[in-house]
Amino acid sequence: MSAADLSRCSLNSATVKHASLTELVDAAAAAGLGAVGLWRHQVQEAGAEQAARAVAGAGLRVSSLCRGGFLTAADEAGIAAALEDNRRAIVEAATVGTRELIFVVGGLPAVSAPGQGPRPDAGPGDRDLVAARARVADRIADLVPFAAEHGVRIVLEALHPMFAADRAVISTLGQALDLAEPFPAETVGVVVDTYHVWWDPQLREQIARAGREGRLASYQICDWILPLAAEPLNSRGHVGDGYVDFAAISAWVSGAGYTGDVETEIFNEEIWADEPVATARTVGERYARYVRPYL
Amino acid sequence: MSAADLSRCSLNSATVKHASLTELVDAAAAAGLGAVGLWRHQVQEAGAEQAARAVAGAGLRVSSLCRGGFLTAADEAGIAAALEDNRRAIVEAATVGTRELIFVVGGLPAVSAPGQGPRPDAGPGDRDLVAARARVADRIADLVPFAAEHGVRIVLEALHPMFAADRAVISTLGQALDLAEPFPAETVGVVVDTYHVWWDPQLREQIARAGREGRLASYQICDWILPLAAEPLNSRGHVGDGYVDFAAISAWVSGAGYTGDVETEIFNEEIWADEPVATARTVGERYARYVRPYL
């Protein structure tokens, strides 16, 4: 395996959750990868400019920043807080050196905290998924001018429907594209994350549409494994360990004209217990075996 | 609450898993419900004709029979076995007195048993979801003439995408309708099960389409609750205990022209531990409060 083969392979920092920014960058560089995906808390800890220097100094790119979003609040204070936080995220993305700011848009506001069930005082309006989705559209419209000014793209992420109640009311790639449609492609894009969309009967056509519309901003990979972990959020597996047809999906993404980085993002307690360098090497190996040949 | 209000309320036997057929029928009748949904193992134990008499004798209807399906086998023996078993299911449905035979179509054949992960020897073809879905279409075509002869409808059930790997490769109502499209509406229909489809951004339009095409064969209800149970299959809640917007979905189903029974089907260890009569009364109360006003 030559190092060049891994030039589009990116390690998302969530995959090595317990690594510092320096350890992440060192692990990705040691494994011969081309990029890293960052999360805001790390960037904030290091300082965005310092984080940018650390990544560039190791010869790597920042493939994306996670994450903006959580846009479903219905009350004025909640809306103002969401807009303020997302403006900060946009500035951080620009400063750390990536155009692609991944958005997880939030669940039904009936939820006070993920996994807790509806609030005892939840009213009928709190279960109104159609209205929550409409608020997401409104908040994207609010943020688009600021993102455009900063040269940052709002990258809408469809989350698996099992997270529709508490994490993200965007549940399919087609829905993400519908929400993006009113806005310029360079300012609102979408991400294909295999974990969230692998099951979608419309996946092939919606990936093609994303390419046609110039909105395919990121390709994130990890596998669907069973049984689900006790915390389903952390139930993802290394590419090749589960049910996802990476040959088909990677070919669709490539066929749609995507030439960007392929970011491995895995939430999994067992993988988090591994050494970051070992994880980075596995990420590179699995990418080379299951994904690269189909790009 | 007058008894008439519950005339369209049906208790699926899976909701009172440990009840005998007699206990099920007695509980539904005592709670003033209009119908019961049955599962094949119960019908087979009692004998289909005897089961039909037991239900009719209590003044109830059979709203549906669960379940045919498991159509994704790729090998000749598996295909033959699936067709044979489904022909038996069709005969049982006709004999027990319902037109509506619910189909759970099966997951990727890479799975030897649900929850076990892919077989160690799974080949790339075993992850080919597109091919598995195409085989479902072929098997439906095989079964349609036999179902038509017996006056039974193959009712395709979209399962929540979290079951796409191991239970059902039909993941949305729209996909179920696409699969049904080549066949007469009186022989291939669809079910709207709130647990499986509540999150779908296309739900409103696909329910309307199902009505327009004459394929809306069953409306099954239960709630999406969090956190998920350790066995996600058994993670369903009583109507009103979770996140599903029953007012909206029931109005859409009614607006699509559905006038049939509304069947409560809940898999939940705690609810299974309750007395069948108590569960039947709760089912009636929740139906009267959260669903009936919107039909």
Q: Which residues contact A137 (CB under 8 A, 6 or more apart)?
A: A179, A182
Cross-chain CB nearest to B228 (options A174, A232, A247): A232
B125 pLDDT band, cuts 50/70/90, is low
As a whole number, mean pLDDT of residues B65-81 equals 95
d(CA B38, CA A214): 50
Tell me what pLDDT residue A54 has.
Answer: 97
For B172, list phi and psi in degrees, rounded to 5: -140, 160
Q: Is the pLDDT of residue B90 over 50?
A: yes
What are A196-207's pLDDT values in tens digits? 999 999 999 999
Asked if B118 lies within 8 A of A200 by C-beta distance, the reply is: no
Q: Is the pLDDT of residue A116 over 80?
A: no
Q: Is the pLDDT of residue B221 over 90?
A: yes
Asked if A242 lies within 8 A of B117 by C-beta distance, the reply is: yes
| Cβ-Cβ contacts under 8 Å, A166 against chain B | 226
As a whole number, mean pLDDT of residues B41-70 equals 97
> Which of B116, B126, B127 to mutate to test binding with chain A, by most A CBs within 10 Å of its CB?
B127
Size of interface A-B (CB pairs under 8 A): 116
Q: Which single residue is written with the structure tokens 């809640």? A: B237
Q: Is the pLDDT of residue A98 over 70?
A: yes
Q: Is the pLDDT of residue A113 over 90?
A: no
Tell me what pLDDT residue B113 has.
Answer: 45
Tell me what pLDDT residue B109 has.
Answer: 81
Tell me what pLDDT residue A112 has.
Answer: 45
Tell me what pLDDT residue A109 has.
Answer: 81
Please list, residue by residue across A204-213, b when 16 or more beta carbons sit within 10 angstroms of its beta carbon and e when fewer do.
bebbbbbbee
Q: Is the pLDDT of residue B119 over 70?
A: no
Give the whole-number percent of chain A exceeding pLDDT 90. 91
What are B181-211's pLDDT values in tens digits? 999 999 999 999 999 999 999 999 999 999 9
Q: Which residues contact A211 (CB under 8 A, 6 or more apart)?
A: A255, A256, A257, A258
Tell me what pLDDT residue B112 has.
Answer: 45
* H or E segment to which residue B188 belongs: strand B188-193
- From the list A65, A63, A64, A46, the residue with the least C-alpha distance to A54 is A46
Asked if A201 lies within 8 A of B174 by C-beta distance, the reply is: yes
Cross-chain CB nearest to A224 (options B165, B200, B232): B165
For residues B151 and B160, the answer to whether their CB atoms sit within 8 Å is no
Cα Dmax for chain A: 59
User: Could you give the domains of chain A?
Assistant: 3-294 (3.20.20.150)
- What residues in chain A have their Cβ under 8 A from chain B's Cβ atoms? 108, 110-111, 114-118, 124, 127-130, 133, 160-162, 164-166, 171-172, 174-175, 178, 198-202, 204, 224-228, 230-232, 242-245, 247-248
As a whole number, mean pLDDT of residues A98-127 equals 74
Asked if B160 lies within 8 A of A161 by C-beta distance, the reply is: yes
For residues A180 and A189, the answer to whether their CB atoms sit within 8 Å is yes
Three-class SS of B15-84: HHCCCCHHHHHHHHHHCCCCEEEEEHHHHHHHCHHHHHHHHHHCCCEEEEEEEEECCCCCCHHHHHHHHH
Tell me what pLDDT residue B41 has.
Answer: 96
Tell me what pLDDT residue B124 has.
Answer: 55
Tokens of B239: 């109507």
Cα Dmax for chain B: 59
Q: Which residues contact B128 (CB under 8 A, 6 or more apart)?
A: A245, A248
Asked if A245 lies within 8 A of B165 by C-beta distance, the reply is: no
Instruction: Report chain A's mean pLDDT, rounded to a whole number.
Output: 94
B42 pLDDT band, cuts 50/70/90, is very high
Neighbours of B124 (CB within 10 A): 12
Asked if B166 lies within 8 A of A200 by C-beta distance, the reply is: no
As a whole number, mean pLDDT of residues B66-84 equals 96
A121 pLDDT band, cuts 50/70/90, is low
B114 pLDDT band, cuts 50/70/90, is very low
| Cβ-Cβ contacts under 8 Å, A198 against chain B | 129, 164
Cross-chain CB nearest to A199 (options B116, B164, B224): B164
> Which of A72, A108, A112, A129 to mutate to test binding with chain B, by most B CBs within 10 Å of its CB?
A129
Tokens of B117: 């992960």
B123 pLDDT band, cuts 50/70/90, is low
Closest chain A CA to residue B117: A226
- From the list B205, B181, B185, B207, the residue with the least C-alpha distance to B194 is B207
What are A229-247's pLDDT values in tens digits? 988 889 999 999 999 999 9
Q: Is the pLDDT of residue A118 over 90?
A: no
Tell me what pLDDT residue A199 has.
Answer: 98
Task: List helix spans (H) across chain A.
Answer: 21-30, 40-46, 48-57, 76-96, 129-149, 173-180, 194-197, 203-212, 246-255, 269-272, 276-286
Task: List helix spans (H) across B47-193.
Answer: 48-57, 76-96, 129-149, 173-180
B4 pLDDT band, cuts 50/70/90, is low
